Amino acid sequence: MPDPHRQYEIRCPVHGFITLNDWEWEIISQPAFQRLRRIRQLGWTDQVYPGAMHTRFEHSLGVMHVATRLYEGIVSRSQGLLQSELAYNEDGLRRDKTVVRLAALLHDVGHAPFSHASEELFPSHAEGGKYKHEDYSAAIVRQKLRDVIETHREGDNYGIKVEDITALLEGRPEAGRRLFWRQLITGQMDADRMDYLLRDSLHLGVDYGRFDWRRLMHTMEAIPGTEGESLRLGVNEGGWHAAEALLLARYFMFTQVYFHKTRVAFDFHLRQALGEMLPAGFFPKPEGSELNAYLGWDDWKVLGLLAEGKGGEHGERLANRNHYREVHHTPEVPKPPDLKELERVREKLGSMVVAEENAEKSWYKIGQEDIPVRGQRKRPKVKTLSKYSSFVARMKPIRKVMLYARPEHAEAARKKLEGSRRQNR
Amino acid sequence: MPDPHRQYEIRCPVHGFITLNDWEWEIISQPAFQRLRRIRQLGWTDQVYPGAMHTRFEHSLGVMHVATRLYEGIVSRSQGLLQSELAYNEDGLRRDKTVVRLAALLHDVGHAPFSHASEELFPSHAEGGKYKHEDYSAAIVRQKLRDVIETHREGDNYGIKVEDITALLEGRPEAGRRLFWRQLITGQMDADRMDYLLRDSLHLGVDYGRFDWRRLMHTMEAIPGTEGESLRLGVNEGGWHAAEALLLARYFMFTQVYFHKTRVAFDFHLRQALGEMLPAGFFPKPEGSELNAYLGWDDWKVLGLLAEGKGGEHGERLANRNHYREVHHTPEVPKPPDLKELERVREKLGSMVVAEENAEKSWYKIGQEDIPVRGQRKRPKVKTLSKYSSFVARMKPIRKVMLYARPEHAEAARKKLEGSRRQNR
Amino acid sequence: MPDPHRQYEIRCPVHGFITLNDWEWEIISQPAFQRLRRIRQLGWTDQVYPGAMHTRFEHSLGVMHVATRLYEGIVSRSQGLLQSELAYNEDGLRRDKTVVRLAALLHDVGHAPFSHASEELFPSHAEGGKYKHEDYSAAIVRQKLRDVIETHREGDNYGIKVEDITALLEGRPEAGRRLFWRQLITGQMDADRMDYLLRDSLHLGVDYGRFDWRRLMHTMEAIPGTEGESLRLGVNEGGWHAAEALLLARYFMFTQVYFHKTRVAFDFHLRQALGEMLPAGFFPKPEGSELNAYLGWDDWKVLGLLAEGKGGEHGERLANRNHYREVHHTPEVPKPPDLKELERVREKLGSMVVAEENAEKSWYKIGQEDIPVRGQRKRPKVKTLSKYSSFVARMKPIRKVMLYARPEHAEAARKKLEGSRRQNR
Amino acid sequence: MPDPHRQYEIRCPVHGFITLNDWEWEIISQPAFQRLRRIRQLGWTDQVYPGAMHTRFEHSLGVMHVATRLYEGIVSRSQGLLQSELAYNEDGLRRDKTVVRLAALLHDVGHAPFSHASEELFPSHAEGGKYKHEDYSAAIVRQKLRDVIETHREGDNYGIKVEDITALLEGRPEAGRRLFWRQLITGQMDADRMDYLLRDSLHLGVDYGRFDWRRLMHTMEAIPGTEGESLRLGVNEGGWHAAEALLLARYFMFTQVYFHKTRVAFDFHLRQALGEMLPAGFFPKPEGSELNAYLGWDDWKVLGLLAEGKGGEHGERLANRNHYREVHHTPEVPKPPDLKELERVREKLGSMVVAEENAEKSWYKIGQEDIPVRGQRKRPKVKTLSKYSSFVARMKPIRKVMLYARPEHAEAARKKLEGSRRQNR
């Protein structure tokens, strides 16, 4: 009989050791979670950065670890507020830590093969919109992990139900006061970002994504909402530069890694190839028996199909590294003349352009989501990060457009553009 | 038209950037080399250390890099000896650096899926013995990379032929004076070991495999052979502790990582499952058209087949993590009573034991291969490392035996053994 | 007799090993250079970050190393331009690498005790302005290092004279085409900054100052000036984000480390105490026999005097950590209301304010010094970094003002301010 | 009024952040503790490894941190045994953690300038033996830190007295069951070693001292003594290789760093120079008013005196780096012929030998102190580490002898030895 108090340690290249209790160990042992071992964190990025082979499995454990540390730090600094505003006592905080850990652990459990690259292939739901990977995560928690979550002695202890976790994942009102903690799962300073920036940096061998996460761990706080609004997650004044650095780490990782021209090309081919492979061109729905079919799709399966020659032209391109080549791109933040030039280039190249991809990302959301910063005086004034930092709010969103040609036409396309530029002078 | 002098940089998490010239870039772009992206360095080790997803592709680049640095260091310290003993001049050294780089780059190109785990499934050759992965590497260089190696302007420059590389890989006498450099590819201080120890440590998140490789880079030398023997690779006195540390790094990685009981179980299942999948239970030979078939086997293909349910019972165990459990092991260096106990346990458990695996490894070879160390006096005495170090020669080889049971019998087996131990007192 | 071709290696925690030839080894062995072992890089910063004990000695070796790597990279990418615009051939490049190495090594040799903290105490020169640490560096090179520089066989080889080095350090026209390389010693992407950001980060244990210096090493280039202007140092398009990251690393180190309120207080006390200790309240001049006296001043001497109770009130405060406490500060980028509030606070506190310190720093210079970036097309357009980056030019310079009170008054001062804030509402 | 519950964080380059409560903060703020900022961890090692400038202050905080983590780990794994064998309940464990933290923090507070290098200059006590740095530590705790330790609300809480701490430091029977924890302060797996190995490695830039301390943290346990003996500190089977690695890390640091020939020379000069500087050639005693005088001796004071030209011939040698040069050394583990050769060399060189230094160190103590390892079976057998490891017990102690000559005679001495070696053939 397994020891219900046993602790398990898993070695993590970012955080040293990650500790799980027996309940959490049982959860990650389920096939639906083990599947994350077969989904790489960064899809085909290894084609550009050969070290990028790590998986969602490793990352999910890391997010749980980071969320726990942040949770503990916030509790130690904001116990009074959590008590007065959200009526938490020690037991409640202990219980909800458990829920937050599971939500962090499971937030990615619904990912499609090759992570974000293939999310366009999610089917539409009844109301017309497309399913998101969070919908799959919640469905898997409900249908595949209910038993292990609701019957283990550890969960039983606190009466934790599957819907406690999905409510947190989906941000439903039933989550109640726990919605405060949802910002640790999805928000501008969430554990997900913190972990992937650090982890991707390590395996790829870049420094871009490193930031002072320990400083955030020691400065994140609950901040009272203004005028009767609810508590928000923020930092005290000692942490605002660390929050700023987190945003910048994301900026650098996106511009240098995630939006790399070759990586974007591979993502394009992958979507096309998957479209060919998938029964109706879309992934199965996160419902009923279709969910089982969905779970069958992972990187292994797709790689196996590619190795068999499946996936049509684009499958072949993936398998042979015969990918499209970028022949033109706008600046990251294009101005009207850049868009005009893009127009000209599109015309000039005509059918030579076989793919047009957009890299779009915002760095910081102001307005409602601007991170609150608590001043260090006795009667602290709360201002937002965009007031503290002279440039965070001025970092313009990226709207880069990239045009691709077939490899055999790339040279010709580039020459054509050179020629036309000469004439334009 | 590509620029033949172009330099390419590939980001490496261990070494920063790895630089290739256009010729080398063309070589690694060949499908036979790109296949290494689909062969993980450590097989199923990620089941125990989740970060262990890195590939032979990344490693092969690293070996080339390390071999180059070592080569350059040795040349700078031993130019006189290389000239007097091996009749090298500067041009010759420049040329052979190129050959060493390619041999380092290509030494693993013949690896089977999941690296060493599946080498038992290599077929036998005409003379009776089994093929080794080096045979596959040489065959691939000859049959698949001849064109790209022999026709590029850069190789042409030096008149480098495929047989220059295979002679070095295989250690044939035709390699002539270059045999001296072979110790950088395979030997007690080779670039292969140095790279994998550092790389595995990084991705797994352990410190075991770290050693002072820069110190070795600055102290490795050519050492005159005694009594008319040929030049040997050694270190000067300033480097003997670094050489000692390299051996220990290997010792720690093997005992803690490569011989981990769960990893060994997965390797067992993998061999069984592959045996089922492979046409005649063995890999195709490294000859003629069979080589093409061999190249079709990579991790992707095997993972795809597993996802389809292939591989029999053991395939199922791999796919569902339903692996055998270790129920007994001897010490790493078993003594007669340990072997006697092993015998008793085998008997006691009978058919409950479904697999018996050996972990065997030596740490240091004395005799002919003992690393020479040059003293620091003007008329240096050469002694061997085993004379310098009080314990290197005393590190006993590992001969650990592990017995495994089916997961459903593991508890019963362990109880049975507990019981029998009590009676024995 | 020492071997003139001997190479020396010094272990560096940032760069691994730093290699010097016999000539350079002789230079760093001179007392005037060894003195840098007794000047800490960051003055009293260890009072806030206990790891900050490293010295200018270690840093100077690092700057030489980084400058060399950058030099080699630029030469390999811009050989054509360096030839056509500056008439360099291979020998000339080899010779000037030697000069650049020495200039990098010696640029800080004139530093006062506790580095920048005490530069205010430099005396005035005949023309009225104050001497700078560069003047001391040049004087030391001329008066103390002439022999070792001009008589060693290695320097003799290239006919290198002391004035070659000082011309580079001082930016005099005599430096000729070498002025191009001066940007590696002092500029927006110089080796000095690169080294101190990395080194300070390591010893302090922060990530703020880490940036992708290897990427810069692989992308920095000579860029043709517009309209007959001279060559400039820039990056190609692949490196602009790395250049951006270098600026940000500096921003984070200044805001989080170098301008830390307690560090600033210690610097204040140090200047006062040194003023008491120095014969006429100023350091000796970098001229004639006064230079010898100047060289006698190092951290050791000052620390010894402090231990003896010298340095007046402020010496006592340093020795007993009884430093002034910050009671008010403006934001880093104060706006008019912040300055008004500062005015009010000054008045309110009156004589309680015993020190007012300014933290001022710009992050990026546009105009003439804006870093040029070469586009990646065949006929490249050169644009400046401020055109590429949406925010670098918008990072506002810091103009933070900090008010300090005696420790025994700090609490009272803060209360007074609290009170006045309440009334102001 | 300071907040008695305030937490303080200090940035540590090895451990991230080190957290202290208000009581501990008060303790480290005392002049007797701040003095450790003025005592470098490795004396003059920076002359060989320029990064080695870090202090006992930084290290002492680290030891407290490591001791705490180890304490917590052992409690979590051995709560039952600690209860049954030592009658600990939760409160007792909480209280004693506080005592262990302080003992760890203060164990080095009595260090002399330049750490171990000058311990030979400790005076003799009444009973005839020499004082040790632990005697000074205990005296300082008693005489200088009593108030801050015994009157703070936090210490008061648990009724902690100064004698609780000194009993632990000195290993007196009054420490009672706490003697078990003394092994964390001084023992084969103590927090002191763990911290200095990691910290020295980081600042020097070497990998020698890195070992898997997190693994030890997760495997160290209380192990029942055999036959009525008391509890001992050991590891479970999962940790024995980590314990082995800790011993090896020490071995490598001693042979490569701490016993470096130039470092040993500087230590020699330092002892001589200090002997000249100290009033009666010895440090003041750790008693009465002499203790105040002792506390006045720190690196600053000595460096100041050296800068003034004090310290006689050896002071001059230190100040000018004009140190003795090693002209002969035995192997690390000399055999009879090596000792015979040493004898011959001594005779041959005669008065040219001006210093003879010994480097002596054992790596592992067997017998009573052999580290116990608990097997992983349900009824575990305890064996000692020397039974598990094939070589730990065989690592021979170092007994290296080094002979030094004045720098101006070094060349002549070496030639003389060369000559005599030729004749001996």
DSSP secondary structure letters along A150-208: HHSHHHHHHT--HHHHHHHHHT-GGGGGGHHHHTTTSSTT-HHHHHHHHHHHHHHT-ST
Angle at C249 between CA D53 and CA B11, to 5 degrees: 95
The model's confidence at residue D424, banded by pLDDT at 50, 70 and 90, is: low
Q: Are C213 and C66 in contact (CB under 8 A)?
A: yes
Closest CB to A241: pick one of C211, C245, C252.
Answer: C252
What number is the average pLDDT over the span A18-35?
A: 95
Backbone angles phi, psi at C6, to 5 degrees: -65, 140
* pLDDT for residue B4: 60
| Mean pLDDT of the residues in chain A | 92
**Helical H segments across D254-298, by residue range:** 261-277, 288-295
Q: How far apart are the first and last CA of chain D?
A: 80
**Residue A350: pLDDT band with limits 50, 70, 90:** very high
Catalytic residues of A: 133
Tell me which of D4 and D39 has the higher pLDDT: D39
Q: HSE-up of D410 (CA within 13 Å, CB side)? A: 15
How many whole angstroms from its chain centre is CA A321? 26
User: Is pLDDT of D377 > 80?
Assistant: no
Quick count: other Cβ atoms within 10 Å of Cβ D383? Answer: 16
Among D7, D17, D214, beta carbon nearest to A17: D214
Distances (CA, A) of B38 to A321, B298, C163: 13, 6, 58
d(C-alpha B43, C-alpha B117), whole Å: 7
Name residues whose C-beta falls within 8 Å of residue C411's C-beta, 6 or more positions apart in sequence: none
Bridge partners of residue A328, in order along the sequence: A403
Is pLDDT of A108 > 50?
yes
HSE toward the beta carbon, residue D33, CA cutoff 13 A: 24
The pLDDT value given to residue C155: 79
Instruction: Find chain B residues with C-beta within 8 A of D194's C-beta.
Output: none
Q: Which of residues 47-76 of A touch D (CB under 8 A)?
A: 76
Q: What per-residue confidence (pLDDT) applies to B52?
A: 96
Alpha-carbon distance of D417 to D411, in angstroms, equals 10
* Residue B384 contacts residue B365 (beta carbons within 8 Å): no
Pick from A50, A206, A320: which is nearest to B57 by CB?
A50
Residue B2, pLDDT > 60, answer no
B128 CB-near residues (< 8 Å, 6+ apart)? none
* Residue C10 in contact with partner chain D when CB distance is under 8 A: yes
- Rounded to a whole number of angstroms, the CA Rg of chain D reads 23
Closest Cα partner for B358 from B385, B384, B380, B329? B329
Is pLDDT of A5 > 80? no
Model confidence at B37, in pLDDT bands (50, 70, 90)? very high
d(CA A128, CA A125): 5
Residues of A in contact with D214 (CB under 8 A): 16-17
Q: What is the pLDDT of residue C378?
A: 67
Does A2 score more than 70 pLDDT? Answer: no
Does residue A72 carry a pLDDT above 60? yes
Q: Which one, of B218, B202, B220, lies nearest residue B210 by Cα?
A: B202
Could you tell me which chain C residue has the CA closest to the CA of A244? Answer: C252
The confidence score (pLDDT) of residue A394 equals 84
Q: Could you say which residues from 402 to 421 on chain B have a Cβ atom under 8 Å away from some Cβ of chain D?
A: 414, 418, 421
Residue B331 CA to residue D94 CA, distance in Å, equals 38
For residue C331, count CB atoms less than 10 angstroms from its CB and return exposed for 0-12, middle for 13-18, buried for 19 or more: middle
Q: What is the mean pLDDT of each run of 10 residues along chain C (425 residues)?
A: 74 96 95 94 94 97 98 95 95 96 97 85 89 94 96 85 96 95 95 97 94 94 84 94 95 94 96 94 94 93 88 94 96 95 96 95 81 83 91 89 97 90 60
Burial class (CB in 10 A: 0-12, 13-18, 19+), D218: buried
The chain A residue lying nearest B207, using CA atoms, is A13
Cβ–Cβ gap C241/A255 under 8 Å: yes
Give how far Cα B177 sits from Cα of B173, C27, C167, D293, D302, Å: 9, 41, 50, 69, 58
The pLDDT score that the predictor gives to residue B3 is: 63
Q: Is the pLDDT of residue B148 over 50?
A: yes
For the residues B277-281, what does the mean pLDDT come to?
Answer: 92
Nearest Cα to Cα of residue C29 among C121, C105, C110:
C105
**Taking CB atoms and an 8 Å cutoff, what residues of chain C touch B220?**
none
Q: With beta carbons less than 8 A apart as the criterion, state whether A234 and A219 touch.
A: no
**pLDDT at res. A374:** 93
Buried residues in C191-226 as b, exposed as e (16+ CB within 10 A): bbbbbbbbbbbbbbbbbbbbbbbbbbbbbbbbbbee
Contact D219, D178 (CB under 8 A): no
The pLDDT of residue A1: 44
Is residue C107 annotated as a catalytic residue, yes or no?
no
Answer whether B378 sits within 8 Å of D414, measured CB to CB: yes
Mean pLDDT in residue range B390-401: 90
The pLDDT tens digits of the residues spanning B245-271 come to: 999 999 999 999 999 999 999 999 999
Beta strands in B13-88, from DSSP E residues, in sequence order? 16-21
Residue type, D42: L
The whole-angstrom distance between C16's CA and the closest CA on chain B is 7
Share of chain D above pLDDT 70, in %: 97
pLDDT of D425 above 70: no
Distance between CA atoms of residues C174 and C178, nearest Å: 9
C-alpha dist (Å) from residue B67 to B15, B62, B79, B106, B192: 12, 8, 17, 12, 8
Chain A residues touching residue C388 (CB < 8 angstroms): 331-332
Chain C residue with the nearest C-alpha to that of B6: C77
Q: How far is C33 from chain D (nearest CA, A)?
A: 11
**Nearest-angstrom CA–CA distance, A99 and A177:** 12
> Is the pLDDT score of A226 beyond 90?
no
Binned at pLDDT 50, 70 and 90, residue A378 comes out as low
**pLDDT score at C307:** 83
- Cα C47 to Cα A160, C44, C262, C300, C311: the distances in Å are 48, 6, 8, 17, 19
Q: Which of A38, A51, A306 sits opposite B13 (nearest CB)?
A: A51
Which residues touch C279 (CB under 8 Å, ≥6 apart)?
none
- Pick from C341, C304, C334: which is nearest to C319 by CA? C304
Residue showing tokens 């250390």? B49
* Strand residue runs (E) in A200-310: 220-223, 232-236
With beta carbons under 8 A apart, name residues in chain D contacting A76.
7
The tokens of B387 are what?
Answer: 């004379």
Which whole number is the average pLDDT over D200-227?
92
Residue range A60-80: mean pLDDT, rounded: 97
Residue of B nearest to A319 (CA): B31
Quick one: what percent of chain A has pLDDT higher than 70?
97
**What pLDDT does D376 receive?**
79
Residue A343 and residue A336 in contact, taking contact as beta carbons nearer than 8 Å:
no
Distance (Å, rounded) from C-alpha A152 to C-alpha A155?
A: 5
Main-chain phi, psi angles of A16, to 5 degrees: 90, -95
Long-range contacts of B14-18 (CB under 8 A, 24+ apart): B14/A205, B14/B62, B14/B195, B14/B198, B14/B199, B14/B202, B15/B62, B15/B65, B15/B66, B16/A205, B16/C214, B17/C214, B17/C218, B18/B61, B18/B62, B18/B64, B18/B65
The percentage of chain B sitting over the pLDDT mark of 90, rounded to a whole number, equals 79
Beta bridge partners of C12: C16
Where b means 16+ CB within 10 Å and e means fewer, D72-84 reads ebbbebbeebbee
Res B1: pLDDT: 44
User: For residue C400, what are the contacts with CB-CB under 8 A and spacing of at least 6?
Assistant: C259, C329, C330, C331, C332, C333, C334, C358, C359, C360
Indicate the SS3 state at residue A56: helix
